[in-house]
Amino acid sequence: MNEDEVFIDLLAKGALKFMGYDPNTDEKMYVFTPKIKEIMPDLYEEHLNSVNKEVMNLWEKGYINLDLMAKDPLISITAKALSNDDIMQLSETEQWSLNEIKRVLLDRNI
């Protein structure tokens, strides 16, 4: 299977879902659903490791708070994560990750 076929298969099986459009590029955005863990466990682990790495990076740089001692660590944003000047110091990938964290936190509070 090529990448396009894998993508279509994951959508059909409910492991991926359409999330909306990127406000900067207007490209379609998709997110993994919990089904990805059972359908493609290797991809799930790779994704989880990538997310954890980005969270740790933003925590080290002071954009998020993270209680590493908690059983289920909670994430919150800092004032730095709301400052456009500070956000512009991040790479494009880091900015995207921070915006995703803020979006998820906002969605949970609605």
What is the CA 73 to chain-centroid distance, rounded?
16
Q: What share of the chain is helix, strand, coil (3-state, %, to 5)?
A: 55, 15, 30
The set of residues, in sequence order, having a beta carbon less than 8 Å from that of 15 and lying 6+ positions away, is 32, 33, 35, 36, 39, 40
Q: Convert the pLDDT of each residue in 59-93 to its tens digit.
A: 999 999 998 788 887 889 999 999 999 999 999 88
Q: Domain boundaries in the chain? A: 1-39, 41-110
Supply the pTM of this predicted model.
0.74
The count of other CB atoms within 10 Å of the CB of residue 48 is 13
Q: Convert the pLDDT of each residue in 6-45 to its tens digit.
A: 999 999 999 999 988 877 788 898 889 999 999 999 999 9
